[in-house]
A and B are shown apart, each in its own frame.
Chain A
């Protein structure tokens, strides 16, 4: 009953938006409202052109980026001022290059993984569907560690390159743009909320004319997430959680407002640094973490460790923590694809509902008794 109510609520809010959309068509354009993502906006114009604006593709970006997506059949009749846009793309596209594994699940969910023609460092792709395309040579290797080999990119002649950048130094992309290949940035990694990250599927959908599929898919994920969150709220206790790991004598762990910390709080648990205001990561002296977290009930994501022994080998200090002593340490580092890529990095932004259910199952086993966690496994 509660589920269907929730579902109705979400559908209702969507249909309200649809009505707004129809009402707005009489005016000049409609903005496609995004529910959670803060990093981009989508606007459909009467002419059929879709405008995507990225507010800040990297930290401290000095300007917004605007991309014009023009339907292929109208590309001759619609004359756009090239200087006004950072990229003009004829859609739907047939050949795409993406640069981060987080882009791969979005393509798969939209049914367009077969349009992917190249990727830098294919080792890291774990998803079986896309992996098969790599093995059969349909997706070409374009360099190591996200450093695109520009010559190979230009030789492939894709309709679009979806890049990402950590700062304004992007000489590689500029070279590709000079060769008349449109480059758009993806800022999914800047998004701070779990559902905000997942909503970036709508960014990809606009280039493939798959908006309906994206809306449907995101609705499912968002509904599942909200339901799981509501279920977690019914828990009677709120366990204490620590995270991260020591290097030398510094403890590196997620900030209190980070993506990782939000999952913990949505799963009805208390991250010991939930008061902290950082959305990135923290580096603290290990003794202060000991003082705060010695008696915590659970330990989530101890860096790259997959076994208790490996942790102790690195630092005897771990022995001081209750969660370690009671074997309540859980990590996603052991869940890897056939070529060793950590699946969490690829799939978690796209499936926050699964991450949340994993954590609820760990913190409150009584709420999801028959659930098998996908990402988080107890350490050996």
Chain B
């Protein structure tokens, strides 16, 4: 992973010789000040963002798959990502509608992050309140999907009435991006992802019990409601915060837990929780390095890369479903 971080930082559109990269990293000066700026204020935050996004999304995917005992669950299933998208859409495209209430600059990333976190948390709260009433995980899954549909519909109505420029901004956001985070935004994202990881670690035992079915878990002395609450909370934090800062990044959350299970040939969360974090971080760094198209000035949207890698994995999973470690 550390080696990959180096690779990721040393490669980019602007070719910075490896020697100079090391000089800059160890606080030395190079003749070219813009190189120093690019490394410290652009590439390093981006590499950290990639690790956080990859780890967090993979972990939330793992939590969802275990909780719902459904190999195709992911952070998108609960409607959390759709909630975040709705928040972003309301901010970007609904600004004309709400401009009397708020006055913010459209392009401000912080307000975008706040809006999409709010969106995901609203959906999360709705799901949680339903989870308190509904005993059955499957119903919860359906309800999550319904929330997703509702938010999707609101987004299309907003798109229809918004101006071309705003629609363009929303589409850019939808491409997903690991770049453009300042150090302070990165700190906030790290904190939220950190809490999510902590909540997952304390839930390792109930997670393993959930694999055997809810009734069985209960007989093992797992407090169903409480555990479920903590797990959903962790997922919401992870998926919401990441979607807020990096846009809706596809497939990582769904694909990485499966890849990890196959790799370690285990379903024990003691191993899986740390493993998906590391694996997700690594995969995201790789995707980002590819997306940068080193030495060329063009950049591919990160979502294109994750999907190109993720989609075949999902197809392969569906075909090999009988042989899956789950």
Contact = CB atoms under 8 A, between A and B. Distances in A.
Interface of A: 144-145, 147, 246-250, 282-291, 294, 304-305, 310, 313-317, 320
Contacts of B169: 247
Given A284-B13, A285-B292, A288-B14, A310 B180 contact: no
Contacts of B106: 304
Interface string B152-164: 0000000011111
Interface of B: 12-14, 34, 37-38, 41-43, 46, 105-109, 160-165, 169, 172, 177-180, 182, 292, 297-299
Contacts of B299: 249-250, 283-285
What 5 A-B pairs have minimum CB-CB distances, sorted nearest first? Answer: A249-B179, A248-B180, A248-B177, A288-B13, A285-B13
A320 B180 contact: no
B41 A294 contact: no
Contact of A250 (B105, B109, B177): B177
29 contacts: A144-B160, A145-B161, A247-B172, A247-B180, A248-B172, A248-B179, A249-B42, A249-B46, A249-B179, A249-B180, A250-B172, A284-B297, A285-B292, A285-B297, A285-B299, A286-B42, A287-B13, A287-B14, A288-B14, A290-B14, A290-B37, A290-B38, A291-B34, A304-B107, A304-B165, A313-B105, A314-B105, A314-B108, A314-B109
A315 B180 contact: yes
Contact of A246 (B178, B180, B182, B297): B180
A283 B299 CA distance: 7
A287 B177 contact: no
B163 A145 contact: yes
A247 B177 CA distance: 9
B34 A290 contact: yes
A239 B230 CA distance: 60
A253 to B, nearest CB: 11
A147 B157 CA distance: 13
B198 to A, nearest CB: 28
A288 B108 contact: no
Contacts of B172: 247-248, 250
A334 to B, nearest CB: 14
Contacts of A250: 172, 177, 179, 299
B30 to A, nearest CB: 14
Contacts of B41: 316-317
A12 B180 CA distance: 56
Given A249-B46, A287-B12, 15 more contacts: A144-B161, A145-B161, A246-B180, A247-B180, A248-B109, A285-B292, A290-B37, A291-B13, A291-B34, A310-B105, A314-B107, A314-B108, A314-B109, A316-B41, A320-B37
A137 to B, nearest CB: 23
B64 to A, nearest CB: 27
B177 A249 contact: yes
Given A249-B177, A313-B105, A316-B41, A285 B163 contact: no
A71 to B, nearest CB: 38
Contacts of A304: 106-107, 165
Give the residue among B13, B177, B179, B297 with the most A Cβ atoms within 10 A: B297
Contacts of B160: 144-145, 147
Nearest to A291: B14
A316 B107 CA distance: 13
Contacts of B107: 247, 304-305, 310, 313-314
B293 to A, nearest CB: 8
B137 to A, nearest CB: 36
Contacts of A247: 107, 169, 172, 177, 180
A313 B108 contact: yes
